[in-house]
Structure 1
Amino acid sequence: MNRINMDIIRWGIIGCGDVTEKKSGPAFSKVPHSELVAVMRRDAAKAADYAQRHGVPKWYDQVDDLINDPDVNAIYIATPPDVHKEYTLKALRAGKPVYVEKPMARNAAECEDMVQASRDTGVPLFVAYYRRSLPYFVKLKELIDTQAIGEIRQVHITIHKTPYPEEVGESPQPGWRVQPELSGGGHFHDLASHQFDYLEYVLGPIQQAKGIARNQAGLYAADDVVQAVFAFESGVVGSGSWCFATNGVEQKEEAVLLGTLGKITFSFFERFTISVETEAGTEEFLLPYPPHVQQPLIETIVAELRGEGRCPSTGETGLRANRVLDWITG
């Protein structure tokens, strides 16, 4: 892929929904040499409202209008995954680098097409696996790399949650995340994609993965229970349990790394303590998330586009997370 040396990165957002309100949107104008200049949403009133509230000079209700805006030289795609491939190909072919939300697409085949388009055009493609740059997970990687618990042998992931409020009741209205035609799967696809991407980042490529996915509660079309085992090229083995239809008593979100000298207990989502247990005792690290969780990763994208650094989350790495999801649920 060609290196791109841009001066000011002028972003346009396709799909200015909830994820862009705090997690990502404001960060584009807080990073040096970066600014948010345009947003697009199919609902013109909502696009205009977002632009007004966030001080964005332009808004559109058509994708092509934003992509072809000469003032926009980089695109952030924050829509559901069903249109990630289509919009990514359009933007790359227009010569504009793309930062696309996760999951990167509905399946690995769509991701492969996106990566190939990036190769063919020489235009960079990045994926919003922002945990690779968050201070909490940077510290966790440091603990692994320095063998704080010796050599890693196993990893275990658990997410057990009750159904989301909008999925139950007299008039349930499940969101796009549990409509496979839009998301590629269910909550497992949405959340486990983050987990597998980060685990590959710190433990190396996953060589194989197998699983069982079922819909038990019947609240929507997607799976709500997944069990999986997976193995890394390094020899580390892992297991995971994801249940999004449990009762109020059994709610748990935890990950455990077992090593030759101890274990690390941590959280992938919204708990800020890392616990390291060895024979010497237990040490805890408290690292709250920054106000805009995608900002550290966006900083690395801006640095790469300016020829000053490298972003750790690319189309090639994002593709791998989707491939693991396909292995487990396919």
Structure 2
Amino acid sequence: MQKVDNSRLVAVMRRNGELARDYAQRHGVGKWYDDADALIADPEVNAIYIATPPNAHLELTRKAAAAGKPVYVEKPMARTHAECLEMIRICEAAGVPLFVAYYRRTLPNFLKIKSLLESGVIGDLRYVQVLMNQPAHPDVKTGPDENWRINPDISGGGYFYDLGSHQLDFLDYLLGPVKSVRALAKNQAGWYGVEDIVSAGFEFESGVMGSGVWCFTTSEVAKTDMTTLVGSKGQISYPSFWDTYVDLETDAGVNERFTFEMPEHIQTFLITSIVQELLGEGSCPSTGHSAARTNWVMEEMTASMRKI
């Protein structure tokens, strides 16, 4: 935010004032608060970034919108699809824009995937397959009281909500909305009370099919992060988290790997697009409406665990 043209970080807030003050001093931020209401009311602040866990997103969005200030909220957008819809309603009623931090929509490796697909180099897209195997995070055994990412009252779900949301949101950007989902979600390891594995089949409105398995309690040797787009003339494969390459293979004999450098700060390009939209000079590709669709897909995929 400090390094994007026409952008300035005016103030920061944490519940612990000493930590807020320390952060402000280390990063050259002029003001700090230990109360969110005070920051939102600051007349020098004209947009709000909500970087809390998801359980606070709706209430802080309500306060920011009531103050007439645009909202940029972390992902996932909220704990539930219903909360997402309420955030959209609040911001539209207040006449303020709502953006969500799905920054992969602006990163060069993901834009390359989009351009390759749109070029027709792999022909007609038939289906997409997502495979994510990850060993249990070291902090899962501390329990949901210490690790908010596995406390659905705070996060909405488990690591699937935290990580799978990025993958599903990019597929929404790449292929359009998902129209139907069939899935199973379970907790196999028993270390916490929310899903640690999700197996899903889904269909996009375009007719493209999709499948995915997300497991967060595998062995190290099984560790995998790969999405594959399979077409009538070739395929595109890419990791979402652990590397930045894109592989292209075609029936015409193309076998090429594209590699990319990431920006110093991973959200730079998305924040730039937000600033440009607020200045009337561009548009941000990640909105409340697009992010709400991702929450809907995740709810559908974990419904067997939630019994919703």
Instruction: Please give the TM-score of this superposition, normalised by the length of structure 2.
Output: 0.96
Cα 1:100–1:226 shift into 2, 3 Å: same
**CA-to-partner distance for each residue in 1:288-307, whole Å, 9 max, x for gaps?**
22111101000000000001
Q: CA deviation at 1:167?
A: 2.0
Q: What letter corresponds to residue 234 of structure 1 in structure 2?
A: S
Given residue 269 of structure 1, which amino acid in structure 2 is its aligned partner?
Answer: F
Question: Which amino acid counterpart does residue 231 of structure 1 have in structure 2?
Answer: E
The answer to whether 1:206 aligns with 2:178 is: yes
1:65 equivalent to 2:38? Answer: yes
1:31 Cα shift? 0.6
Structure 1 window deviating more from structure 2 (240-249 vs 104-113): it is 240-249
Choose the corresponding residue for 1:178, options 124, 146, 150: 150
Residues of 2 paired with 1:49 and 1:124: CA distance?
31
2:291 corresponds to: 318
Amino acid at match of 2:155: S
Distance in 2, Cα, partners of 1:36 & 1:132: 23
RMSD between aligned residues: 1.1
Task: State the alpha-carbon separation in 1 of the partners of residues 199 and 23 from structure 2.
Answer: 40
SS of the aligned residue for 2:9 comes to: strand
Q: 1:75 aligns with which of 48, 54, 58?
A: 48
1:100 aligns with 2:46: no
SS, match of residue 288 in structure 1: coil
Residues 1:86 and 2:59 aligned together? yes
Q: 1:264 maps to what in 2?
A: 236
Q: Give CA deviations for 1:89-119 in whole Å, capped at 9, x if unaligned.
A: 1101100000000000001000000001111
2:124 alignment counterpart: 151
* Counterpart for residue 134 of structure 2: 161
1:105-144 CA-to-partner distances (Å, cap 9, x unmatched) read 0010000000011111110000001011111111111011
Match of 1:247 among 219, 227, 241: 219
| Equivalent residue, structure 1, for 2:272 | 299
SS at match of 1:59: strand
How big is the shift at 1:172? Answer: 5.9
* Corresponding residue for residue 230 of structure 1: 202
The Cα shift of 1:270 comes to 3.2
Give the counterpart letter for 1:277 in structure 2.
Answer: E
The aligned runs of 1:99-118 (5 Å cut-off) are 99-118=72-91
Decide which of 97, 103, 124 is 2:97's aligned counterpart: 124
Q: Which amino acid aligns with 2:152?
A: P
**After superposition, what is the alpha-carbon deviation per residue over 1:267-319, rounded to whole angstroms, capped at 9, x for unaligned?**
11131110000121301100122111101000000000001111111111111
Partner deviation per Cα, 1:129-173 (whole Å, 9 max, x = no partner): 1011111111111011111211111100011011111224xx667
Q: Deviations over 1:192-221 (max 9, x none)?
A: 111111101111111111211111111122
Deviation for aligned residue 1:57: 0.6
Residue 2 of structure 2 aligns with an amino acid whose one-letter code is: S
In the alignment, the residues of structure 1 paired with residue 239 and residue 264 of structure 2 have an alpha-carbon distance, to the nearest angstrom, of 18
Identity of aligned residues (%): 51
The residue number in structure 1 matching 2:306 is none
TM score, norm. by length of structure 1: 0.89
What is the distance in 2 between the residues matched to 1:114 and 1:266?
32
Question: Aligned to 2:198, what secondary structure does the other structure show?
Answer: strand
SS of equivalent residue, structure 1 residue 156: strand
What SS class does the counterpart of residue 183 from structure 2 fall into?
strand
Report which stretch shifted further, 202-211 or 32-41: 202-211
Residue 137 of structure 1: which of 78, 89, 110 is its match? 110
Unaligned ranges ≥5, structure 1: 1-27
**Dislocated runs of 4+, deviation >6 Å:** none
Equivalent residue letter for 2:194: A
Distance in 2 (CA, whole Å) between partners of 1:314 and 1:307 is 16
State the alpha-carbon separation in 1 of the partners of residues 299 and 182 from structure 2. 9
Greater alpha carbon shift after TM alignment, 98-107 vs 187-196 = 187-196
Structure 2 residue runs without a partner (length 5+): 304-308
Alignment size in residue pairs: 301
